[in-house]
């Protein structure tokens, strides 16, 4: 069975957690497409050449979850040639046999507009910055301050939404899931219900 769940949204909205839980719940493969861009940004040098040479092993590089890697990912993702080099890989993954969950910023609009389920997971910039700050603080106390993380969050949002190629935006038929005042359990339950309903409709 081919069944794609496309999950888009800004950084720290909760889409990664929801995606992983959905994949585990329904036995689907999962791809965090942001890791592709983080890996390209972390490789340094010519980002287009790095994207063209990217291998699955590069997704296991240390430090890809750091704030710096996220900023680098946002910068290289604005380069059309980088995006083009990574699109084919993502599209093959999305339509693989057995079902797939992909999370990123242009899954429902560019990578898999035919996805059976499309979610756009969002939250206020302040809440997303607080979540990210808490993660960073737990990993390295005192290394960052909240105001800096908030400024970087807003900067990244502006860059992701303002880029000419595949800007961050909800697909027209995406279901909006605002996690600002929603627990992760409630968000996961809502997402699971949507996927279960779509699977029921897709199954003869």
Q: Which residues are annotated as a binding site for ATP?
A: 9-17
Pick from 10, 17, 11, 12: which is nearest to 192 by CA?
A: 17
Q: How far is CA 176 from CA 24, 32, 122, in A?
A: 22, 19, 8
Pairwise CA distance, residues 201 & 204, whole Å: 8
Record the tokens describing residue 152, joined without a space: 């970087």
Task: State the first-to-last Cα distance of the chain, in angstroms, to the nearest integer.
Answer: 11
- Please say whether the beta carbons of 124 and 13 come within 8 A: no
């Amino acid at each position: 069975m081919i069944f794609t769940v496309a999950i888009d949204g800004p950084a720290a909205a909760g889409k990664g957690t929801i995606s992983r839980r959905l994949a585990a719940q329904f036995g689907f493969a999962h791809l965090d497409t942001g890791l592709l861009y983080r890996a390209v940004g972390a490789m340094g040098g010519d980002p287009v050449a790095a994207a063209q040479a990217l291998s699955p092993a590069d997704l296991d590089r240390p430090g890809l979850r750091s704030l710096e890697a996220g900023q680098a990912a946002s910068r290289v993702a604005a380069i059309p040639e980088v995006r083009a080099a990574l699109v084919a890989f993502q599209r093959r993954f999305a339509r693989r046999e057995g079902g797939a969950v992909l999370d990123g910023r242009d899954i429902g609009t560019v990578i898999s507009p035919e996805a059976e389920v499309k979610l756009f997971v969002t939250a206020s910039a302040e809440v997303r910055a607080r979540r990210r700050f808490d993660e960073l603080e737990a990993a390295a106390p005192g290394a960052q301050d909240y105001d800096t993380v908030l400024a970087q969050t807003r900067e990244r949002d502006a860059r992701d939404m303002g880029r000419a190629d595949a800007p961050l935006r909800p697909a027209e038929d995406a279901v909006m899931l605002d996690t600002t005042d929603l627990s992760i359990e409630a968000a996961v339950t809502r997402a699971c219900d949507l996927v279960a309903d779509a699977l029921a409709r897709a199954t003869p």
